[in-house]
Structures are given as structure tokens and as C-alpha cells.
Amino acid sequence: MYEKHKMLTLIVLLFFIVLAVWGIAFLFIKISLYPRSFVYLGVYILLVGIVLVLVVRGKESFHEYGFRWPRSLMNMVLGAFLASVYVIITVFIPGSLRNFEVLPANPFDVYMNITIIFVAVFAEEIIFRGYILRNLIKMHGFFTAILLSSAMYSLTYAIYRLPLALLLEMQGQLESASSFFMAGIFLGTLFYKTRTLMYCIVVHLFIRIFQFLTPLHAITSGYERLLFEIIAYATLTYLVLITVLTRKDGG
Amino acid sequence: MILLITKPLQVLIFLSVLGLCLGVIASVVGESKGVFIERIMYDTSKLYPAERYTWKINVEIVVDNNLCPNTSREDLFFFKLYVDDSLWWNEYNDTDYKFWNCSRNSTVTRKYIIKIPTWLGANYHLFRVELFRYDNVTGIIYFEDEVSFMAICVLQVNLRHQTPLSYLSIYAFTIFISSVYLSATGRIRP
């Protein structure tokens, strides 16, 4: 019982640390582009470091936290499949109903953006799926755990995007943050079935890179975009349930 | 650093509280200057190709003259506007837009329509606004402030346009190839 409370305290503490570190990072985020990129990278690396310290102090093996290889790397094709389905549902279906906006090629350093995407995806999966979801499943079972971890994931993004929405007047930032709840449910289901972070990382990476490399944007309202995001993540969750067998060997 | 090793939990709690406090403090705005560009508002330029031949970006610039009101005279100002590091507009030489007044302890809002040829396609454009003060007694020009911003020119197209069609075909092909592989292997054993 004591161990259970200690673990729950650590999870809540980690969650507040994530929020607090982002709070500190916002002090530097308005400086200019390149320092901001380095702040992003620094924050993510710091957060992963905190999780690793917590795992080492808990005297548990990384294997249990999903740090293990899948049986076949060829199965990573699933990532390209799911990410393509996601892009078609969120961009092409609403775009064909209305119209598209062709956005300019990103003027910022492509390598820096790709690096941030890689580091961010690794950090998010290690924190929210590897540490928080895995421990919550052990304590409260799958359904409570996935709801709690997804709520934490979306709340982090809401707070992370709030200054952007206010300072840069970027509409839709907060609506898109709420779609992270569905993203948390989808990625959590994938982690629960595969028991390895590798699938979550690869699928998440494919989605973010496909989004980044597609200079198209469907002309929709924030709520329509949110609706299509929810439909997309629900479809991906369903596809995971029917295409992936549950891994039984511990973890 | 030593504390982080010996008492990590205490340090982490301290960082959490500090971060939440700093997050609140961060919203406080900084210093005031003499004459400065208070804010610039601009829109994202959107158009259908073949409808028009220029992007039009509406820019609204608010200047705050915060100098001490020690004289009754009005200050004269002008802007230089640069688009992608090329001088696009110089009110000092221009025949349509001339110097303009801004009384001390007051603000002035100036509106401009910046036109860019469409052949450049959807793009980001870097704008720079330089504010100068002209002393009409001595004839000396003073540089007062400079603000840069990046405006986006986007194209609005339908599904039959080549850009969405080409991306759609790539994703459809990816789904086809990967679903053939996945159906050949059966359900994935992770």
C-alpha cells in the first residue's frame, strides 16, 4: 500500500515538473527562433533525464518500462500505414469538403525542426506512456490508467500552447490541444497492446513528420478540425485493436 | 548539482514551485521608450491563383510618442518599409505618403496595403519597419525604432489542384503498399 502511494506521488510530481519546466521555458521562448529551438530541446532532454532518475531510484528494470525491441522491425510499416490514414482523415477529407490552403515551405531550419520532432516524440512517449501510463496500469487497471494519462497529456499541451495562443494570436491552438486527449488514448492503447515504446515512438514520429512535410491545411473552423482529429484517432485506435495482437510476456 | 544527487525530490519540488511562480511573472511586460512602434497588426494574405496578380497584406502600425511634453510643437515622423530586405517604401521620398505628425504623449495609427507579386507563390515574407523622427527646426533625422515581422502568403486551392492531388496520391500509395504487407503477414505479433 505504501509503495502504491509513493508511486502515485511520484507520477503526480512528475506531471507537475513537466508543467513547471515548461513554465520556466516560456521565459526564454520569446527571445528568437534559434534560442527557442534550443530551449525546446533542453526541456525535453531534462524531462527524460528526470524520468530516468526516477526509474533508477525505484530500482526497476528499463525493460518493464517498454525499453525493448519488437519481435520484427518490419512491423514498423504499421507506422506509415496509420500516419497516412491520419493525414487523409484530418487533411484531405475536410479539405475536399471545403478547400485547401497551400502553406509556404517552412522557412525555419528543417534539420532543427526534425531534430525537435525526434526529441519531443521520444520524450513524450517515455514520460506519458513509458512511465506514467505503465505505473497507472499497475495501480488502477487499463481503463482508469489510460483516461488519467491521456488527461495529463492533453492538460500539458493545453498549458504548453496557452502562451502561443495568447501571445501569437494563433487560433485553434487550444482546440488542437484538446485533441491530444484522443491521441493519448490511441497511443496508450498501442503501448498496452505492444508493451514496447518502439511502436508508439515510430507511429507518433510518422504522424508528426507527415504533418510537417505536408504543406496543406484544410480550411475548417477550429471545432471542425477538432472533430476530424477525434474521428482520426478513434479510427487509428480501432485499427490498432484489429491489427495488433496483445503481447503477453510481462511488463 | 550536489543537492540534485543527495535530495532530488526536494530539488524537484522547489523547481516545480519556482516554475509556476515564474510562469506567472513572465506575463509582465517590460520597459517603455521615448518614441517607439507600440504594435503592428497584419493579416495572412490568402488568394485563389489566377484571380488576382498581387498578394495584398493589410498592415496597421501604432506609434507611441512617449517623449516629455516640454514643447508645444508636434513631432514629424516617417517610416521606411522593407520587404525581404529590399526597400519597399520610403515615406521620406514618396509623393503619396509624406511625413506625419504625432503629438507628444499620444499615439498614431497608420495603415498600409503592401502588394507583392504572386509569381513567388506561397511564401513567408520578412517585413521590417524602421521609424524615423524628423526635426524640422534643425533638419536632422533621428532613427527611433525598428520592428521586424514575418507575414504568410498562402494559396487557397481545391482538391483538383496539383498540390493536394500529388500529396493525396503519395499517401494513398503508402496505404496501399503497407496494407498489402499487413494483410500478407496477418495480425501483428509485437
B188 interfacial to chain A (CB closer than 8 Å)? yes
Which residue in chain B has the smallest CA separation from A193? B190
ipTM over 0.90: no
Per the CB < 8 A criterion, the answer to whether B105 and B66 are in contact is yes
Mutate which of B171, B183, B185, B187 to test chain A, going by most A C-beta atoms within 10 A?
B171
Q: Give residue B48's domain range.
A: 30-158
**CB-count burial class (<10 Å; 0-12, 13-18, 19+) for A73:** exposed
List, in order, residues 6 or more apart from A91 with CB less than 8 Å away. A100, A214, A216, A217, A218
Across the range A82-98, mean pLDDT stands at: 94
Q: Which chain A positions have a beta carbon within 8 Å of B23's beta carbon?
A: 20, 22-24, 26
What pLDDT is stored for residue A32 in this prediction?
Answer: 55
pTM: 0.73
Which residues are paired to B57 by β-bridges?
B114
Per the CB < 8 A criterion, the answer to whether A45 and A123 are in contact is yes
Domain presence at residue B182: no
Distance CA A91, CA B164 (A): 10
Pairwise CB contact (< 8 Å): A244 & B174:
no
Compute the residue count for chain A.
251
Domain presence at residue B35: yes
- CA B173, B174, B180, B181 dihedral sign is positive
pLDDT of residue A30 exceeding 70, the answer is no
For residue B188, give the nearest of A53, A75, A103 by CB distance: A75
Pairwise CB contact (< 8 Å): B123 & A104:
yes
Distance CA A66, CA A135 (A): 11
One DSSP character per residue, A185-246 reads HHHHHHHHHH--HHHHHHHHHHHHHHHHH--EEE---HHHHHHHHHHHHHHHHHHHHHHBPP
What pLDDT is stored for residue A240 in this prediction?
Answer: 94
Domain count, chain B: 1
Which pairing describes strands A100-102 and A216-218: parallel, antiparallel, or unpaired?
Answer: antiparallel
For residue B15, give the nearest of A17, A77, A244 by CB distance: A17
Q: What percentage of chain A has pLDDT greater than the value 90? A: 32
Pairwise CB contact (< 8 Å): A71 & B190:
yes
Q: Which of A39-48, A161-170, A187-196, B44-53 has the highest mean pLDDT?
A: A187-196
Q: Please report which confidence band the pLDDT of residue A25 belongs to, taking 50, 70 and 90 as the band edges.
A: low
Domain presence at residue B146: yes
Domain boundaries, chain A: 2-243
Which residue in chain A has the smallest CA separation from B148? A32
What pLDDT is stored for residue A79 in this prediction?
Answer: 92
Mutate which of A43, A101, A106, A193 to test chain B, going by most B C-beta atoms within 10 A?
A101
Q: Per-residue pLDDT tens for A36-47?
A: 677 778 878 888
Distance CA A238, CA A16 (A): 31
For residue A13, give the nearest of B12, B153, B188 by CB distance: B12
CATH number of the domain to which B119 belongs:
2.60.40.3880
Domain presence at residue B88: yes
